[in-house]
Structure 1
Amino acid sequence: MKKISLFSLLFALMIVLAACGSNDSDESKASGGNGDSDGKVYKVGIDTTYPPFEFQEGDDYKGIDVDLINAIAEDQGFEIELSPMDFSGIIPALQAGELDIAIAGMSITDDRKKVVNFSDPYFEAGLSLVVADGNSEITSLEDLKGKTVAVKKGTTGANFAEENKDKYGYDIVQVNDSTSMFQEVANGTSDALIEDYPVISYAIAQSDLKLQLVGDRLNGDNYGIAVLKGENDELLKKINDGLAALKESGKYDEILSTYLGEQ
């Protein structure tokens, strides 16, 4: 009888230990292996009208921001749900408690810092100078004296060109759309164009435009991931930790090159 009781006890103990091991394994999977999942699904505000950062193909959301926040969430072990909306409504939605996170090509500005806390910068945007593929004569604004610069009406590029034309001595040709501006330079009608860096980089990567970016960024504009000021400090730390991990592993560069080509 004692032998039978001892065997039964050992058998029962083995079952308990196996169950505990299985639970530990399941918990590790749920947390993504990094960070601790609290079971909450964080709602992320995006604007799908801003390629290459956010856009929609069929039922899928794609872009730098989409891939980046998904990779951060996976690395840090928390769950997210993407909520597309107009850009102007994203910060009000954070204030109303309808969103937990915002990633929408959002520039880090002093005014916005009054309402939200930003992550470490994840992208340096700004304007770029663009010339025809193979042009080695123009590498900076200083090389534009006597040249013609194409810009799209009503853009920050057009404003920048107007503000600096006397300083650098170039003429301006204004066009109504991006396609006409690209053709101006590719066909040799204009010598250069000025356009938002991420927009032109994406266009060049996706299409055979016969154009190339030259020189340094003409101005600076950093994008950040936002949470409501005074809220979600722990979540913001996870976002920063995840962003740093992606940069260290090379995943960050991989995401950018998918949409912008080799940097």
Structure 2
Amino acid sequence: MKRIINHKILFLLSLTLFIKLGYAAPVILVGTTGDYPPLTAKSESDFSGIDIDIIKKFAKDNNLNLKFVPTTWQTLSNDLSSSKFVIAVGGISENPERSKLFYLSNAIESSAKAAMIRCTDKQRFTNFAAIDSESVIVSENRGGTNQDFALKNIKHATIRLVAKNDASIVSLISVPPLADVMFTDDIEISYRHEQNPKLCLAQIPEKFPGSPKIFLFAKTAEGQKLQQLFNEWWVKRH
């Protein structure tokens, strides 16, 4: 009798362990640069921002665990393609190359490229021609759509490429300054101005086309399932 009871106890313990393991929330690796506030930002211990909150809410509602993986704009596409993570979030603009390489989410938000300058230079930069002159230095992070925009549109000013988005910000406000202009999304310029009133949107008449901000999913079976799940979840919320 004792042996039968012991067998029953062992069976129940094994079943409980199986159920727990079987229903454990999967861990999803999410890549983000952490240098594009207010959409993604890196603190000492964690990531924060609008897009970080969105992906966390998605994970919570779908019983998924997230682990954030730091990446850079220059390596983001390669990292996602090589399975360092399965989702990439945080101020990512839709473009043709990304559309070919990855599964895309529905549009999360939309913004347009604009010029960020020191507020003291408002009278200096009153149109695009004033920005695109030989005496001007434009700073952009490598690998992102800010770099693409500058390389496509700047013909005369010097383009200074740096490793991280934050480094471009520092180059504008350092003493002496290392750059005069940074092209980025208008949503970031608004945020940067709130954080540092010395930085302003250049009030120029030229307007540049915007692009949707999206999340990227690896072009794998897992990535496709997550993309479909996310888009269904997103549509229900909006």
TM interval, short-chain normalised: 0.5 to 0.7
Higher helix share: 1
Match of 1:4 in 2: none
Match of 1:106 in 2: 92
Partner amino acid, structure 2, of 1:48: G
Counterpart of 1:218 (choices 208, 211, 233) is: 208
- Partners in 2 of 1:160 and 1:151 — Cα distance? 16
Match of 1:258 in 2: none
Q: Which runs of 5+ in 2 are unaligned?
A: 1-22, 120-124, 141-146, 162-167, 175-180
- Partners in 2 of 1:180 and 1:92 — Cα distance? 27
Pair 121,59 (structure 1): closer, same or farther in 2 beyond 3 Å: same
- Partners in 2 of 1:98 and 1:181 — Cα distance? 33
SS of residue paired to 1:99? coil
Partner amino acid, structure 2, of 1:153: V
Match of 1:117 in 2: 103
Maintained 8 Å contact 2:32/2:89 = yes
The question of 1:239 aligning with 2:230 is answered: yes
Which deviations, in whole Å up to 9, do the C-alpha atoms of 1:165-186 show, x marking residues without a partner? 9xxxxxx899996578689xxx
Deviation at 1:67, TM superposition (A): 1.7
- Partners in 1 of 2:158 and 2:72 — Cα distance? 32
Maintained 8 Å contact 2:137/2:160 = yes
Partner amino acid, structure 2, of 1:225: F
Partner amino acid, structure 2, of 1:221: S
Give the root-mean-square deviation of aligned CA atoms.
Answer: 4.2
Query: Considering only CA atoms, is the larger Rg found in Structure 1 or Structure 2?
Result: 1
- Partners in 2 of 1:86 and 1:162 — Cα distance? 23
Match of 1:53 in 2: 39
Q: TM-score, normalised by structure 1?
A: 0.54
Maintained 8 Å contact 2:139/2:182 = no
- Partners in 2 of 1:89 and 1:158 — Cα distance? 19
- Partners in 2 of 1:77 and 1:243 — Cα distance? 15
Maintained 8 Å contact 2:32/2:68 = yes
- Partners in 1 of 2:233 and 2:64 — Cα distance? 11
Deviation at 1:90, TM superposition (A): 3.4
Which deviations, in whole Å up to 9, do the C-alpha atoms of 1:37-66 show, x marking residues without a partner? 772111111112333332222212112321
Which deviations, in whole Å up to 9, do the C-alpha atoms of 1:139-161 show, x marking residues without a partner? xx9x8499778964244576677
Partner amino acid, structure 2, of 1:220: G
SS of residue paired to 1:239? helix
- Partners in 2 of 1:179 and 1:89 — Cα distance? 21
Q: TM-score, normalised by structure 2?
A: 0.59
Q: How many residues align?
A: 192
- Partners in 1 of 2:214 and 2:114 — Cα distance? 20
SS of residue paired to 1:126? strand
Deviation at 1:123, TM superposition (A): 2.8
Deviation at 1:224, TM superposition (A): 1.7
